Amino acid sequence: MALKNYFNKIELLCYVLMPNHFHLEIRQKNRNDMEDFMRSLITKYSKYFNKRYDRVGPLFQGRYNAILITNERYLLHLGRYIHLNPQEIIVDKQNLSSYPWSSYSAYVNNLSVSWLNKNYFLSDFEKNKGFSFHSYQGFVEGYKEETFEEIKAYKKMFLD
């Protein structure tokens, strides 16, 4: 069976891998591309993990959650939320980019990663589209005090 390549079907905008969950912000090219990608990713990883640790059965609790984002501001705020996820578990609270399982360090250290599309977020700051922050890092870390409830309020404001 040939491995399916999703390179021209999805764009990964940001990610974080946490000890008990993960977040991916993905832009799909066609209607079902993300669903196909997630099904493939979860199935392949579950098979790998079960074989590696000699176990059987589902690895994840329930189905993944996905939302359609049609508002660019919410897209940006969701990326900020994803990149802030590790702040409670990292040792150096002042250096969020030190968390190795996140795309955040690629953003703030200007690292080139071929499978990560940073242009969606960074272009907003290069063009200064009405932001009070002049850098993506300033935007992400300038809202550290914001709670998950406030993020959900953004979701309601931008998606409803």
Domain boundaries, the chain: 10-52, 72-159
Region 130-145 average pLDDT: 74
pLDDT value, residue 156: 64
What is the b/e burial string over 16-42, where b = at least 16 CB atoms within 10 angstroms of the residue's CB?
Answer: beeeeebbbbbebeeeebbeebbeeee
Mean pLDDT, rounded, for 46-71: 89
Q: Is the pLDDT of residue 47 over 80?
A: yes
Model-level pTM? 0.81
pLDDT of residue 128: 59
Identify the pLDDT of residue 86.
93
* pLDDT for residue 56: 94
The predicted pLDDT at position 3 comes to 57
Place of tokens 């900020």: 80
Considering only residues 128 and 160, tell me which one the structure prediction assigns the higher pLDDT. Answer: 128
Cα distance between residue 99 and residue 154, in whole Å: 26
Is pLDDT of 160 > 80?
Answer: no
Determine the pLDDT at residue 50.
95
Which pLDDT value is given to residue 157?
Answer: 60
Q: Which whole number is the average pLDDT over 66-87?
A: 87
pLDDT tens, 87-127?
888 887 678 899 999 999 999 998 999 889 998 888 877 76
Q: What is the DSSP letter of 147?
A: -
**CA atoms of 4 and 119, how far apart (whole Å):** 25
- The runs of H, that is alpha helices, within 25-128 are 33-52, 72-84, 104-108, 119-126
Look at residue 22 and give its three-state secondary structure: strand
